[in-house]
Amino acid sequence: MLANLPAELLVKILDNLDSFALTSCRFVNRSFDDVIKSSSLLQYKLELGLAGVDANPACTLAPSECLEAVRSYRRGWENLAWSSSDGWREATGSVSHNRGTFTLGEVVAKGDDDHYYYKLRTQRLQLKSRHRRLEERTWSEDRPINIIPVGIDPSQDLLFAIPNANCGEVRILTLSTFEPHPGVAHPTVSLPVGQESSVEMDVYKSNVAAATHLRFTFKFEGSILVYNWRTGAMLVEISYPCDDFFFLTEDLVACYVTWRDPTDRPSHFAVFRIPDTRNVAPSQEPSPTTTPLCVFDLPHSIDGKSWYLAWQGRMNSSYGSCPPPNDPAVPFYASGRRLLFTLWSLPYSSFWGSPECSLIIPLRTLLNHAPSEPTPSTTVFHWDTWGPSGTRLLSGIDARQMSLQFGWKIARLGPPDPSNMPLWPSRDVGITVYDFNPLPFHGPPDVTEREEWEPETDAVGRTKRVVTSPSSCPDSAELAGVQTYLPYRITSAPFELRGRAADHDNYEISLGEDGMIVWTHLTLDYAVLTI
């Protein structure tokens, strides 16, 4: 009977269903599936549900244009912190010798490995979602292991681990069974790892970047090695004085270098290009790369102020939460082919600082960049954040206090009453959510360079400040729709974590489509908030 109905009529019938029912229809009947796949209108409705956004009734774009727009938005969201609807992707931290945190949709997972008892525990939270009809719940898993996890990508059922018997050999296993991964040509990767060394790894699709450093130190012992883990081919060896911050994409590796001596170059990010995997044979060993494709210096003085970088980012959590002032680190968040670097004002006389300046570097512009060309322009934000009562909301310098996810939303934690701030975060915590342009595809803002900070106010009287550099790059539209000032919609609310948070615990945030989970890094006490 369904086969005799015109496709146009089926589209009209299915258009009355929500995204959840449409998804169910795809698995009920092949005719439904074929009609949904062939209809831009139905695909658009499905993508809206996956992205967790609603259609704009005033939109005049064609269904195909709307479909491409929301797909672009969802891809940027997935590349930011999550993988696909069926897997996990590392969001904050790293699974090295300590613990890591992962998110998928509304689910947060925290893994702990114990070197003495060889047990891997994963605790998970699921945020209630009206779009995916999920209920809030928690669960945990314990698995006895005799390996040390150093890298993970659950979206590919992928686990990189070091056997205790051989610290220089990284095995490529399946996360579900701990057996050798069937999709690899060579089941092991050799790294120069000593007994007192730690391994840092970052996985993105078929690429994996690995480096080793002495435990409780910042500098890598050797090079950053980038492999195609499926073929075993080494793609690039980066010999550069990096700290243990590096970020991997399909084409680029961004490394962080701390400013340690006045005679050295200031803190900067060096970006290297990864060769095309189709042109690299598994037996071919590339020459070490020492010259970056591009270098971005991070300013230490803006608007007459001295700036220091907070202790945050892909840092191993065992280093603690209070860095020495002359040895800072930097947080950074990746969105698709963009990187957002956040700088902090950190006075020596205080354990607390507020985020003051952020730097955006468009990675898309670097794909065709030559080392001899001028450094591409960047965008600088000036943060001027005030709470509803007019008092400044300050954040502690302990790790993982900001989350940039899902359409350029930024959430920040801090005491609701800055005049009575404890030395360590208490259970009484306030949260502020900033919403950048939620659909970043309408074209770049028309801005010009300003020689000094110019205070402005938005529609409701809040202060905003901006300084930008003029862009000479043809691909500057990659920053399309990203507002160069703090947005209008700001929400702030105090909350209390469930359970008993440790006095020295750190807070983490994960934003979902219907709200957010705020949890403590060590004890996994948590609170669920609605945006």
Give me the CATH number covering residue 19.
1.20.1280
How far is it, in rounded angstroms, from Cα 51 to Cα 93? 24
- Tell whether 122 is covered by a domain: no
Q: Which of 81, 96, 128 is the last residue of a domain?
A: 81
531, part of any domain = yes
Give the model's confidence band at 311: pLDDT under 50 very low, under 70 low, under 90 confident, else very high: very low
Query: Is 227 a member of any domain?
Result: no
Residue 118's pLDDT is 40
8 Å CB contact between 410 and 434: yes
pLDDT at 234: 84
Instruction: Output the average pLDDT for the chain.
Output: 56
Which of 37, 54, 81 is the endpoint of a domain? 81
From residue 1, how far is each of 26, 30, 31, 39 by CA, in Å? 17, 13, 10, 20
pLDDT score at 38 = 85
**Cβ-based neighbours of 511, under 8 Å, separated by 6 or more:** 403, 405, 406, 409, 411, 531
CB environment 180-205: b (16+ within 10 A), e (fewer): ebeebeeeebebebeeebbbbbbbbe
Question: Which residue in 401, 165, 163 sits closest to 173, CA to CA?
Answer: 163
256 part of a folded domain: no
User: What's the token pair of residue 334?
Assistant: 């990746």
The contacts found for 20-25 with CB under 8 angstroms, 24 or more apart, are 20/49, 20/131, 20/132, 20/133, 22/46, 22/49, 23/49
Summarize pLDDT for 435-477 with one digit per residue, the tens: 443 333 222 233 222 222 233 333 333 333 232 222 222 232 3
Three-class SS string for 93-132? ECCCCCEEEEEECCEEEEEEEECCCCEEEEEEEECCECCC
Higher pLDDT, 302 or 192: 192
Q: How far apart are CA 213 and CA 222, in angstroms?
A: 8
Looking at the structure of the chain, the number of domains it has is: 2
Q: Ranked by mean pLDDT, which of 33-37, 48-52, 479-483, 517-521 comes out on top?
A: 33-37
In a domain, 67, yes or no: yes
pLDDT at 148: 66
Is 458 inside any structural domain?
Answer: yes
Would 248 be classed as within a structural domain?
no
Whole-structure pTM value: 0.52
Q: Flag whether 469 is in a domain.
A: yes
Q: Residue 358: give the domain boundaries.
A: 307-531
Question: Which of residues 132 and 437 earns the better pLDDT score?
Answer: 132
C-alpha torsion sign, points 346, 347, 353, 359: negative
Q: Phi/psi at 328 (nearest 5 deg)?
A: -80, 170
332, 340 contact by CB (below 8 A): yes
**Nearest-5° Cα angle at 329, 327 to 331:** 165
pLDDT of residue 156: 73
Asked if residue 114 has pLDDT above 60, the reply is no
Look at residue 438 in the predicted model and tell me its pLDDT.
32
